[in-house]
Amino acid sequence: MIELEGLTKRYGDKLAVDNLTFTVRPGTVTGFLGPNGAGKSTTMRMILGLDHPTAGSVRIDGRRYQELKDPLTYIGALLDAKAVHGGRSAYNHLLCLAQSNGIPARRVDEVLDIVGLTPVARKKAKNFSLGMSQRLGIAAALLGDPRILMFDEPVNGLDPEGIQWIRSLMKSLAAQGRTVFVSSHLMSEMALTADHLVVIGQGRLLADMSMADFIAQNSQCRVRIRTPERERMLDVLHTAGITAVEKDGGLLEVEGSRAERIGELAAEHRIVLHELSSQQSSLEEAFMQLTAGSVEYHAHTGQAQQTGGTGPAVVPAQPVAADTKKES
């Protein structure tokens, strides 16, 4: 379990991490989501005691990082896959880490085997591809067989096979009851792996909820109706207590996922429909909406400016069926 309490980091007059309070629990994959520059890596460095917080604290299983005896046996982390001395072999890199925490040398062979680097164990790390470096970093994180694992953007730059491997690894680690905390700037990636979601933007906490709740709250449904008998349809909907909005091109839109009810109404009143479809904003859109006010580097295109002013306000919670899928 990782507990953050009012964690704050200030660089000069810029707040990189702003009063973060949340808990990462065991047995699930917790996604740590935010745009680039949101403060994810800074937060992770503070969790490991590498950067000193300006205010607030972090507890690893109830203790400060500095108080952990042999910390690699409590928490294993992959921050930067390339942070390895290039002239050292994969085996020796892992061996020196193992020795510093009193981990037996045979564990080095075990983790090399788990990540599939045994054939290149004696090769110098500088000749490794990004994918191999990523595997070496994960081997280092697994070295102490820790109850908590933390990965910073682990799928960045990986080929599809590597991505698949990391996804299933994270899920199996969580299934073993471990705490898995993984950062990403891609909602789509999180949707596939995370059970719980912590979203930050400009260092501030924007959401801390289960993936299911996030989907339910943030993917808005609309029903689009196209009919030659627009006025009659509007009357029927109005009588049924459904509010429809007129859109360009003779379209009608109704908030919520009520396509069945609308279809039944149209049939009952013998109204010809040319189109009746459920529309759903994707999770990626929902994430962008949520973080729009807190994206550090805006691309000044039409889309970004439209959403730019909405800010990280609470997204209107629409009554949406809990079993809604990402794609309609």
Partner 1 sequence: MTTQIIRSEWTKIRSVASTVWTLSLALVVTVALGMLVSALTRHGFENMREQDRLSFDPTYISFAGMGLGQLAMIVFGVLVVTNEYSTGMIRTSLAAVPQRGVFLASKVAVATALALVVGMVTSFLAFFLGQALLGSLGTSLGEEGVLRAVIGGGLYMALIAMFSMGIAAMLRSPMLSLGILMPFFFLISGILGAVPATKKFGQFLPDQAGSRIMQVVIPAGDDTPYGPWGGLGIMALWVIAALAGGYLLLRKRDA
What does the alpha-carbon distance between residue 45 and residue 42 come to, in Å, rounded to a whole number?
A: 5
* DSSP 8-state symbol, 74: T
Does residue 89 touch partner 1 according to CB under 8 A? Answer: yes
Which 22-61 positions form the footprint of partner 1 (CB under 8 A)? 45, 48-52
Which pair of structure tokens corresponds to residue 130?
A: 């990004």
Q: State the nearest-atom distance from the C-beta of 65 to partner 1, in Å.
A: 6
* DSSP 8-state symbol, 87: T
The distance from CA 63 to its chain's CA centroid, rounded to whole angstroms, is 26
- Name the residue among 83, 32, 100, 77 with its Cα closest to residue 173: 77
Pattern of binders to partner 1 over 260-279, x per CB under 8 A?
--------------------
Contact pick of 15, 25, 79, 212 for partner 1 (by CB under 8 A)? 79
Hey, how many other C-beta atoms are within 10 angstroms of the C-beta on 38? Answer: 26
CB contact at 8 A, 205 and 21 = yes
Contact pick of 1, 27, 55, 102 for partner 1 (by CB under 8 A)? 102
Pattern of binders to partner 1 over 165-204, x per CB under 8 A?
----------------------------------------
Q: Using alpha carbons only, give the angle 153, 283, 300 rounded to the nearest 5 degrees.
A: 80
- Name the residue among 242, 211, 179, 182 with its Cα closest to residue 324: 211
Cβ proximity to partner 1: between 42 and 217 the closer is 42
Does residue 101 touch partner 1 according to CB under 8 A? Answer: yes
**DSSP letters of 284-312?**
HHHHHHHHGGG-SS---SHHHHHHHTTTT
- Name the residue among 173, 150, 153 with its Cα closest to residue 163: 153
Does residue 14 touch partner 1 according to CB under 8 A? Answer: no
Q: State the nearest-atom distance from the C-beta of 125 to partner 1, in Å.
A: 9
Q: State the nearest-atom distance from the C-beta of 92 to partner 1, in Å.
A: 4
Q: State the nearest-atom distance from the C-beta of 48 to partner 1, in Å.
A: 5
Residues in binding contact with partner 1, number by CB under 8 A:
33
Does residue 160 touch partner 1 according to CB under 8 A? Answer: no
Cβ proximity to partner 1: between 98 and 225 the closer is 98
Q: State the nearest-atom distance from the C-beta of 100 to partner 1, in Å.
A: 4
Q: State the nearest-atom distance from the C-beta of 70 to partner 1, in Å.
A: 8
What does the alpha-carbon distance between residue 181 and residue 29 come to, in Å, rounded to a whole number?
A: 6
Does residue 97 touch partner 1 according to CB under 8 A? Answer: yes
Q: Using alpha carbons only, give the angle 136, 16, 314 rounded to the nearest 5 degrees.
A: 105
Q: Which residue has the tokens 């090769």?
A: 123
Does residue 100 touch partner 1 according to CB under 8 A? Answer: yes
Does residue 104 touch partner 1 according to CB under 8 A? Answer: no
What does the alpha-carbon distance between residue 55 and residue 20 come to, in Å, rounded to a whole number?
A: 10
Distances (CA, A) of 259 to 48, 127, 318: 50, 57, 15
CB contact at 8 A, 162 and 155 = yes
CB contact at 8 A, 153 and 185 = yes
User: By CB under 8 A, which span of 73-81, 113-121, 295-303, 319-327 interacts with partner 1?
Assistant: 73-81
Pattern of binders to partner 1 over 127-156, x per CB under 8 A?
-------------x----------------
Contact pick of 38, 95, 158, 170 for partner 1 (by CB under 8 A)? 95
Contact pick of 31, 35, 71, 256 for partner 1 (by CB under 8 A)? 71
Question: Which residues are at the interface with partner 1 (CB under 8 A)?
Answer: 45, 48-52, 65-66, 68-69, 71-72, 77, 79-80, 82-89, 92, 95-102, 140
